[in-house]
Amino acid sequence: MSNNDWYVRELYDFLDNIDFTVISANYSRYVIDVNRDMSFKENKDNYRNSLIYHKTTFGEQIYDTSPDEAIIENRIETIYLPYHHCLAQEIGQVASNHRKVYLFDLHSFYIQSSADIVLGTRGGQTCSEEFLNVLVKAFREEGFKVEVDAEGLTGGYIVSHYGSLSHTEAVQIEIRYTTYIEDRIFGKEEVIDKNIDLFIAAKGRLHRAFIRIKAELESL
């Protein structure tokens, strides 16, 4: 399937080692999108407002026969709800021991911006300016070109919902394919390989940026 968060889990696998709690969605968003509000269960014409995609982000049909209600409910019960239960549980656990919870929702992109990293805050609704400035500064110090709330990358349900909690600040972090996979044009293809040197270099820069972010947030 085209336009996925290619290699993102591997790109950020250092987070465990610097004491960040990591929760991963183990299914493609084309199975069910955990970054959507459950009230938008199925919209066959607009994937942006649907848990279940019937078309790719390029508008191509995914199914010969659309999944029936039983299949959709099974995906909600076995994937969507457990993911959000786990996320809410972890947020609650951190909140019980700390004054503030900082949530990073990690994704990747290609089309929407020429920046290396786009930070989504729903127009400043999901986090404080102080938190946002910590992120912008850390990424820019590693040479990343940073944009905030680029069109189409302002943040989804996860940062909108959990960022509304009184003890939680949330930011969606999108990294451009060309910054860590390969410096080329990307289309509808499935990405099956990456430029190892570019990937390792980007991962190192992100690692250093998150060490700075952690230190700054601990001092707030």
Averaged confidence pLDDT in the chain: 93
Q: What is the pTM of this model?
A: 0.94
SS3 18: helix
What value does the mean pLDDT take over residues 64-81? 92
CATH of the domain at 120: 3.40.630.40
Residue 191 belongs to a domain: yes
Is there a domain that residue 1 lies in? no
Assess contact for 8 and 191: CB atoms under 8 A.
Answer: no
Q: Report the DSSP beta bridge partners of residue 102.
A: 169
Query: In the prediction, which pLDDT does 126 show?
Result: 98
pLDDT digits (tens, 9 = 90+) for 9-32: 999 999 999 999 999 988 888 899
pLDDT in tens, 114-161: 999 999 999 999 999 999 999 999 999 999 999 999 999 999 999 999
Domain span including residue 99: 8-219
Give the whole-angstrom CA distance, residue 148 versus residue 118.
Answer: 5
Domain count, the chain: 1
The answer to whether residue 2 sits within a structural domain is no
Tell me how far apart the alpha carbons of residues 155 and 119 are, in angstroms, rounded to a whole number: 8
pLDDT value of position 55: 82
- Say if 3 falls within a structural domain: no
What confidence tens digit (pLDDT) does each residue in 184-216 have?
999 988 899 999 999 999 999 999 999 999 999
Q: Is residue 122 part of a domain?
A: yes
Is the predicted pLDDT of residue 220 greater than 70, yes or no? Answer: yes
**Residue type at position 116:** D
In a domain, 203, yes or no: yes
- Partners of 61 in the beta sheet? 55
Identify which has the larger pLDDT, 162 or 61: 162
Contact predicate 148/124, CB 8 Å: no
Q: Which runs of consecutive H residues, i.e. helices, occur in 43-156?
A: 69-75, 81-97, 129-141
- Asked if the structure places residue 85 within a domain, the reply is yes
Is a pLDDT exceeding 70 seen at residue 46?
no
Dihedral in degrees, nearest 10, Cα atoms 136, 141, 143, 148: 10
Closest residue by Cα to residue 105 from 165, 214, 25, 202 = 25
Domain assignment of residue 47, yes or no? yes
| The pLDDT value given to residue 54 | 83
